[in-house]
Amino acid sequence: EAQVTQNPRYLITVTGKKLTVTCSQNMNHEYMSWYRQDPGLGLRQIYYSMNVEVTDKGDVPEGYKVSRKEKRNFPLILESPSPNQTSLYFCASSLSAGGDYGYTFGSGTRLTVV
C-alpha cells in the first residue's frame, strides 16, 4: 500500500530533551515536507525537501532540523523541544514539488512538550 508512515503517533516529552519524529514513504516521491497543525493557525509548513540532500526552510522552521539522506526518509529533529512546539505534526510527500498528482500525508504525530 502506498503510504507515508510517521512514528511515533503520540509522544510526551520534557523541555530540552532531544527527539526525532521519523517519516518514511514507499512511493519513490522526490518531494517531502513537514507541517504542524495548531488550533486557530491551521497547517503551516516547517521544512521541505526537493530531493535527497536538498532541504530548505518553510514558514515556521525555528527550533527544528531535518535531513534527507535517503529518498524515502525525512526525519524531523527537535534538538531542544519547548512547550510552544506542542502540536500535531504531519509529514507529506509528492512525486515532485509541483504536486501534479497531489500530496500524500501521514497519519500525524501528536507531540506534547511539558
Partner 1 sequence: KQEVTQIPAALSVPEGENLVLNCSFTDSAIYNLQWFRQDPGKGLTSLLLIQSSQREQTSGRLNASLDKSSGRSTLYIAASQPGDSATYLCAVKDAGGTSYGKLTFGQGTILTVHP
Task: Note the residues at the interface with partner 1 (CB under 8 A).
Answer: 31, 33, 35, 40, 42-43, 45, 48, 50, 56, 58-59, 90, 92, 94, 96-108, 110
In the complex, what is the shortest distance from the CB of residue 43 to partner 1, in angstroms, rounded to a whole number? 4
DSSP letter at 95 equals S
In sequence order, what are the residues at sequence separation of 6 or more whose Cβ sits closer than 8 angstroms to the Cβ of residue 88?
36, 37, 38, 108, 109, 110, 111
User: How distant is the alpha carbon of residue 31 from its chain centre?
Assistant: 12
Q: Judged by CB, which is closer to partner 1: 12, or 14?
A: 12
Least distance (Å) between residue 37 CB and partner 1: 8
